[in-house]
Amino acid sequence: MFERFTKDARAVVVGAVDHAERAGVGSVGAEHLLLALLDREGSRASFALAALGLAERRDAVREALGEARRRAGLSQADAEALAGLGIDVSEIVARVEEVHGVGAMSGDRKSKGWWSGRRSFGRDAKEILEKALRIAVARRDRHVGDEHLLLAMTVRPGVPGEVLADHGVTHESVVRVLYGEGEAKAG
Protein backbone atom coordinates (compact mmCIF):
# COMPACT_ATOMS: atom_id res chain seq x y z
CA MET A 1 0.00 0.00 0.00
CA PHE A 2 2.82 2.44 0.80
CA GLU A 3 4.02 2.46 -2.79
CA ARG A 4 1.09 4.79 -3.55
CA PHE A 5 2.09 7.22 -0.77
CA THR A 6 3.79 10.52 -1.59
CA LYS A 7 7.03 11.44 0.17
CA ASP A 8 5.01 13.70 2.49
CA ALA A 9 2.63 10.88 3.43
CA ARG A 10 5.54 8.51 3.97
CA ALA A 11 7.22 11.12 6.15
CA VAL A 12 4.07 11.25 8.30
CA VAL A 13 4.14 7.46 8.72
CA VAL A 14 7.85 7.52 9.64
CA GLY A 15 7.20 10.45 12.01
CA ALA A 16 4.35 8.52 13.64
CA VAL A 17 6.68 5.58 14.26
CA ASP A 18 9.18 8.00 15.84
CA HIS A 19 6.47 9.44 18.11
CA ALA A 20 5.47 5.92 19.19
CA GLU A 21 9.11 5.03 19.88
CA ARG A 22 9.65 8.18 21.96
CA ALA A 23 6.49 7.37 23.91
CA GLY A 24 7.81 3.86 24.53
CA VAL A 25 4.73 2.11 23.18
CA GLY A 26 4.77 -1.01 21.03
CA SER A 27 2.31 0.10 18.38
CA VAL A 28 1.66 3.23 16.35
CA GLY A 29 -1.71 4.78 17.08
CA ALA A 30 -3.87 7.34 15.32
CA GLU A 31 -2.67 10.01 17.74
CA HIS A 32 0.92 9.38 16.59
CA LEU A 33 -0.17 10.00 12.99
CA LEU A 34 -1.73 13.30 14.06
CA LEU A 35 1.39 14.33 15.98
CA ALA A 36 3.49 13.56 12.91
CA LEU A 37 1.13 15.61 10.74
CA LEU A 38 1.55 18.54 13.11
CA ASP A 39 5.33 18.27 12.67
CA ARG A 40 5.14 18.63 8.88
CA GLU A 41 5.99 21.82 7.02
CA GLY A 42 5.63 22.65 3.35
CA SER A 43 3.08 19.94 2.57
CA ARG A 44 -0.57 20.05 1.55
CA ALA A 45 -1.77 18.99 5.00
CA SER A 46 0.43 21.56 6.74
CA PHE A 47 -0.97 24.22 4.39
CA ALA A 48 -4.54 23.21 5.28
CA LEU A 49 -3.79 23.16 9.00
CA ALA A 50 -2.15 26.59 8.81
CA ALA A 51 -5.03 28.01 6.74
CA LEU A 52 -7.45 26.78 9.40
CA GLY A 53 -5.45 28.44 12.17
CA LEU A 54 -4.10 25.28 13.72
CA ALA A 55 -0.44 26.25 13.26
CA GLU A 56 -0.75 28.66 16.20
CA ARG A 57 -2.63 26.08 18.30
CA ARG A 58 -0.36 23.05 17.86
CA ASP A 59 0.56 23.04 21.54
CA ALA A 60 -3.12 22.99 22.51
CA VAL A 61 -3.67 20.01 20.21
CA ARG A 62 -0.68 18.19 21.70
CA GLU A 63 -2.02 18.94 25.19
CA ALA A 64 -5.48 17.60 24.27
CA LEU A 65 -3.90 14.42 22.89
CA GLY A 66 -1.91 14.09 26.12
CA GLU A 67 -5.08 14.41 28.19
CA ALA A 68 -6.75 11.72 26.09
CA ARG A 69 -3.70 9.48 26.62
CA ARG A 70 -4.06 10.00 30.38
CA ARG A 71 -7.66 8.76 29.99
CA ALA A 72 -6.29 5.56 28.39
CA GLY A 73 -7.17 6.86 24.92
CA LEU A 74 -10.82 7.52 25.65
CA SER A 75 -12.28 10.38 23.65
CA GLN A 76 -14.22 13.11 25.42
CA ALA A 77 -17.39 11.64 23.87
CA ASP A 78 -16.52 8.25 25.41
CA ALA A 79 -15.92 9.87 28.80
CA GLU A 80 -19.26 11.70 28.57
CA ALA A 81 -21.06 8.47 27.63
CA LEU A 82 -19.53 6.74 30.65
CA ALA A 83 -20.52 9.70 32.84
CA GLY A 84 -24.10 9.10 31.71
CA LEU A 85 -23.75 5.63 33.22
CA GLY A 86 -22.42 7.09 36.46
CA ILE A 87 -18.75 6.38 35.73
CA ASP A 88 -16.45 9.34 36.36
CA VAL A 89 -13.39 8.79 34.16
CA SER A 90 -11.53 11.70 35.77
CA GLU A 91 -11.97 10.09 39.18
CA ILE A 92 -10.75 6.72 37.90
CA VAL A 93 -7.68 8.34 36.30
CA ALA A 94 -6.96 10.25 39.53
CA ARG A 95 -7.17 7.08 41.64
CA VAL A 96 -5.02 5.02 39.29
CA GLU A 97 -2.41 7.79 39.10
CA GLU A 98 -2.47 8.15 42.88
CA VAL A 99 -1.46 4.52 43.26
CA HIS A 100 0.66 3.96 40.15
CA GLY A 101 1.91 7.41 39.18
CA VAL A 102 1.00 10.04 36.61
CA GLY A 103 0.45 8.59 33.17
CA ALA A 104 -0.14 5.06 34.45
CA MET A 105 -3.13 4.59 32.13
CA SER A 106 -1.48 6.16 29.10
CA GLY A 107 0.67 3.26 27.97
CA ASP A 108 3.54 5.74 27.64
CA ARG A 109 5.60 4.38 30.52
CA LYS A 110 8.47 2.24 29.39
CA SER A 111 8.45 -1.17 30.96
CA LYS A 112 11.52 -3.20 31.88
CA GLY A 113 10.96 -5.39 28.87
CA TRP A 114 10.64 -2.43 26.49
CA TRP A 115 10.37 -3.79 22.99
CA SER A 116 12.76 -2.24 20.50
CA GLY A 117 11.71 -4.15 17.39
CA ARG A 118 9.66 -2.92 14.47
CA ARG A 119 6.53 -1.05 15.50
CA SER A 120 3.19 -2.46 14.44
CA PHE A 121 0.26 -0.22 13.62
CA GLY A 122 -2.75 -0.25 15.90
CA ARG A 123 -6.23 -0.81 14.52
CA ASP A 124 -7.04 2.92 14.64
CA ALA A 125 -3.89 3.87 12.70
CA LYS A 126 -4.51 1.12 10.12
CA GLU A 127 -8.05 2.40 9.63
CA ILE A 128 -6.76 5.90 8.96
CA LEU A 129 -4.22 4.62 6.43
CA GLU A 130 -6.89 2.56 4.68
CA LYS A 131 -9.40 5.43 4.72
CA ALA A 132 -6.75 7.77 3.29
CA LEU A 133 -6.29 5.37 0.39
CA ARG A 134 -10.06 5.21 -0.16
CA ILE A 135 -10.31 9.00 -0.10
CA ALA A 136 -7.52 9.34 -2.65
CA VAL A 137 -9.17 6.78 -4.94
CA ALA A 138 -12.58 8.44 -4.57
CA ARG A 139 -11.06 11.81 -5.51
CA ARG A 140 -9.28 10.11 -8.43
CA ASP A 141 -5.89 11.13 -7.08
CA ARG A 142 -3.03 8.92 -8.26
CA HIS A 143 -1.18 9.01 -4.95
CA VAL A 144 -2.01 9.17 -1.26
CA GLY A 145 -0.73 12.43 0.20
CA ASP A 146 -0.59 13.69 3.74
CA GLU A 147 -3.75 15.68 2.97
CA HIS A 148 -5.58 12.37 2.54
CA LEU A 149 -4.32 11.26 5.95
CA LEU A 150 -5.67 14.49 7.43
CA LEU A 151 -9.02 14.02 5.70
CA ALA A 152 -9.19 10.43 6.97
CA MET A 153 -8.60 11.63 10.54
CA THR A 154 -11.46 14.10 10.28
CA VAL A 155 -14.01 11.45 9.31
CA ARG A 156 -12.96 8.65 11.65
CA PRO A 157 -14.43 8.68 15.15
CA GLY A 158 -11.89 8.83 17.94
CA VAL A 159 -9.50 11.10 19.73
CA PRO A 160 -7.63 12.63 16.75
CA GLY A 161 -10.83 13.54 14.90
CA GLU A 162 -12.42 14.89 18.06
CA VAL A 163 -9.35 16.99 18.92
CA LEU A 164 -9.16 18.36 15.38
CA ALA A 165 -12.88 19.22 15.40
CA ASP A 166 -12.51 20.92 18.79
CA HIS A 167 -9.91 23.16 17.13
CA GLY A 168 -12.05 23.94 14.09
CA VAL A 169 -10.54 21.40 11.72
CA THR A 170 -13.41 19.39 10.26
CA HIS A 171 -13.71 17.32 7.12
CA GLU A 172 -15.71 20.08 5.45
CA SER A 173 -13.24 22.83 6.36
CA VAL A 174 -10.26 20.80 5.13
CA VAL A 175 -12.03 20.00 1.84
CA ARG A 176 -12.81 23.71 1.37
CA VAL A 177 -9.19 24.71 1.94
CA LEU A 178 -7.63 21.96 -0.16
CA TYR A 179 -10.05 21.80 -3.05
CA GLY A 180 -11.70 25.22 -3.02
CA GLU A 181 -15.16 23.80 -2.54
CA GLY A 182 -16.95 26.61 -0.70
CA GLU A 183 -15.50 29.07 1.77
CA ALA A 184 -12.94 27.91 4.34
CA LYS A 185 -13.70 28.87 7.93
CA ALA A 186 -11.97 27.87 11.11
CA GLY A 187 -14.27 26.96 13.99
Say which CATH number the domain at 151 has.
1.10.1780.10
Q: Is residue 162 part of a domain?
A: yes
Cα distances (angstroms) measured from residue 107 to each of 13, 23, 61, 66, 172: 20, 8, 19, 11, 33
Q: Is residue 6 part of a domain?
A: yes
Residue 18: inside a domain: yes
Residue 84 maps to a domain: no
* Contact between residue 148 and residue 10 where contact means Cβ atoms under 8 Å apart: no
Residue 54 lies in a domain: yes
Supply the pLDDT for residue 55: 82
pTM (predicted TM-score): 0.78
Domain hosting 142: range is 2-72+137-178
Tell me the average pLDDT across 145-169. 94
Q: What's residue 2's pLDDT?
A: 76
Residue 165 lies in a domain: yes
Number of domains in the chain: 1
Q: Which residues pair with 120 in a beta bridge?
A: 27
Regarding beta strands 27-28 and 120-121, do their DSSP bridges make them parallel or antiparallel, or are they unpaired? parallel
